[in-house]
Structure 1
Amino acid sequence: MIDEELEKIKKKQLEDMLKLQNESNESKMRTVIDLDETNFDQIISKNEFTLVDFWAEWCGPCKSMHPVFTRLCKKYVNIKFARVNVDNNQNIAMRFGIQSIPTFVMFKNGKSIDKMVGAVGEPGIHMICKKYSLDQ
């Protein structure tokens, strides 16, 4: 009887370890998706939550946010992270009233539900993600 219980415990621990390893590998592979006119609506409507970074190549604060955005993409696995270059995709920026960059917009099933403007740093991105994330 004790042997059976030990085997159950060992099996459960092994399953838990494998699950953690798979989750870790999955999060390492996550990347920020570049959006444009051809894929924007499809990506934001097919994912429950998508955080979009509206940025431009010439914008210093935008560039300083890229590593933060990329790093947090791996942490919040139920949120898709994407970005839109506003110079190359002015119609998308106008559609959502983007007047300053960087601007971060959270979408749920294709609808804009939250927005942060400026180089908000890691704490700002954490704040918006924690509101909508299952990965607390």
Structure 2
Amino acid sequence: MTVQPYRPETLTRAELDALPGCIVVEFGANGCGHCAAAQPVIERVLAEYPQVRHIKIEDGSGRRLGRSFKVKLWPTLVLMRDGLEVLRLVRPTGASQVEEAFETLVQEG
């Protein structure tokens, strides 16, 4: 399994809010130990939900998108449906926690 790196933000909050469907926005940093530890669980659950779009965004001080979501700890997963935040996970560690969140996201509609 190849873990995709966090990428610099390219979307504005308005653009992100306008995206349709189920989306998980994952904020983190490429050198973050908490982020690296969470990746196997996040990637495994994502593989079970192909209908969920995954956007990994590199966060840091002064990054506007992360601040617009009030992200303070990494990784933070913001689960959105049709532009609205359904729920969020901060530093998830257990597969069951991530699976329950994804199940809630896809069943909202």
Q: Structure 1-normalised TM-score?
A: 0.62
**2:83 is matched with which residue?**
110
**2:10 is matched with which residue?**
38
**1:130 is matched with which residue?**
103
**1:96 is matched with which residue?**
69
Please identify, of 80-89 and 31-40, the stretch whose mean Cα deviation from structure 2 is larger: 31-40
Amino acid at match of 1:73: L
Give the helix-richer structure, 1 or 2. Answer: 1
- Describe how 1:19-58 pairs up with structure 2 within 5 A: 36-39=8-11, 42=15, 45-58=18-31
**1:83 is matched with which residue?**
56
The count of residues paired between Structure 1 and Structure 2 equals: 104
Higher RCO by CA contacts (8 Å cutoff, separation 6 or greater): 2
Higher Cα radius of gyration: 1
Unmatched runs of 5 consecutive residues or more in structure 2: none
Greater than 2 Å deviation, 4+ residue runs: 31-47
Unmatched runs of 5 consecutive residues or more in structure 1: 1-30
Identity of aligned residues (%): 18
Return closer, same or farther for 1:50/1:79 CA change in 2, 3 Å cut-off: same
- Asked whether the equivalents of residues 53 and 104 of structure 1 are also in contact (C-alpha less than 8 Å), the reply is yes
Q: Structure 2-normalised TM-score?
A: 0.75
- Asked whether the equivalents of residues 32 and 82 of structure 1 are also in contact (C-alpha less than 8 Å), the reply is no
